[in-house]
Every structure is written in C-alpha cells, then in structure tokens.
Amino acid sequence: MGILGKIFLATTGDAKKRTAPEQPLKNMNLLIVSDIFGRTKALDNLADYFDEKKIKTQILDPYNRRYRNFENENQAYSAFHAETGLGNYIDLLKQKLTGKKPEKTVILGFSAGASAIWAVSHHIEAELFKGVCFYSSQIRNYMEIKPKIKIELYFAKAEPAYDVDAVISKLEINNKVTCFKTNFMHGFMNERSANFNEDGFLKYREIIKNSIARHLTGSADVG
C-alpha cells in the first residue's frame, strides 16, 4: 500500500499564497479539504481558479493554515500523524461544517481529505452540501457509513491494497453515492505526488467545476 493509501480520513511553493483571513462558512461555495501535504502553491492555484469562476473558495488543511515544505510523501505522512492525526482532522472538518447555516457548498477532498469527508458525510445537512472525493483508499474500511449528502467518489484506476471494482460495486448500492473509476493513479491531482498527471488534472478540474455548478445552480455552466 502506498503512503497516501494508508491514511483514513491533507505541494508547497514560494509564490503568492492565500493569506487572507478565513471567511465564515456562509461566504463559501467550495471547501477544499487537502491531502497530507496541506496548503501548497498548487492547491492555492486550484482555489484561485475556482474563485475566478465566481465560486467562493476556502481551503481546510491539517496544519492550521501553515505552508509546509515537504520533500516527499514520507515526510508529509510523518508530519500529518505527529502534528494532527486522523481523528483531529475529522474533527476539524466536522467543526467547520456543523452548527452554522451556510450557503450551498461543495466539499472537495483529496486522499486523506476525501476520507475525512466520507467520515462526516452522515452528520451534515443533506440539502446544503455535496461531496466530491478523489482516491480515498480507506473508504473501503468504512462502507457501513450511509451518507446523508450526495457524494461523488473518484477512484484511482488501481490500488495496491484492494480491488477498486469490488469496492465500487458495494458502494453504488447507496443512492446517495456515485462512483467513477479514473484512468489515473492515486495522487494524480497533486503536483507533489509521484503519480501526478497534468492531463488528468486538467480533465478532472473541469469535471469538478461542472459538478460544483450542478449543485449550486442546477446547471453545468460556471465561468
């Protein structure tokens, strides 16, 4: 199993960083829940892309909005477990999403962030939220969760620890869950990952944009 695949439940740079004060949930249409690399230049660029499409975007990460300079996935993995841990990351997301009356919001997560979304999906308001989750390896261990929200799960084309097709077949029984098997490997949306694929990133960035539009407006046309 790869390092990212071991985590249930999140690409640093020295260019412009999103340092504006965090906005209240009611001023947000998209919450990006990072993988174990946390806030990075590449993730900021993704958030800026959606902001430019008039989609009000925030980022949740495991490191209290600090930028980290991890050289590889092993460093990120160690820091994630030493400084935050799986349970705390779930709690951070739950606190962010509950107890407030937000606008319609899509929660977009990658790897550990996607797993955190799955973990809270049966606790949050069904009509207000939608989940979009990429390559969460650990969902397979928590398939008893019954999401209240609509949730799209994008799987890697293969995972070393389990049969992707078998997991998809079990999850699709739930009418709140829609599964997709991509042609790319775990981490393809993250520039820091050894499995990053630019063609895949651009393709699925567009798919994410259209998914957000459908939730917010009922249309697939944003920006």
pLDDT along the chain (223 residues), means of 10: 38 36 63 95 96 95 91 90 90 85 89 96 90 94 94 97 95 95 97 95 98 87 56
Instruction: Name residue 58's beta-bridge partners.
Output: 31
Give the per-residue pLDDT at 162. 93
**Structural domain count, the chain:** 1
Domain annotation covers residue 164: yes
pLDDT of res. 11: 28
Answer yes or no: is 65 within a domain.
Answer: yes
Residue 96 domain-assigned? Answer: yes
pLDDT reported for residue 99? 67
pLDDT reported for residue 39: 94
Residue 223 inside a domain? The answer is no
To 5 degrees, how large is the angle CA 19–CA 24–CA 27? 95
Q: Is residue 101 part of a domain?
A: yes
Q: How high is the pLDDT of residue 71?
A: 84
CATH of the domain at 211: 3.40.50.1820
Does any domain span residue 62?
yes
Q: Domain residues for 52?
A: 4-217
The answer to the question of residue 222 being in a domain is no
Residue 7's pLDDT is 38
Q: What is the pLDDT, as a whole number, of residue 218?
A: 79
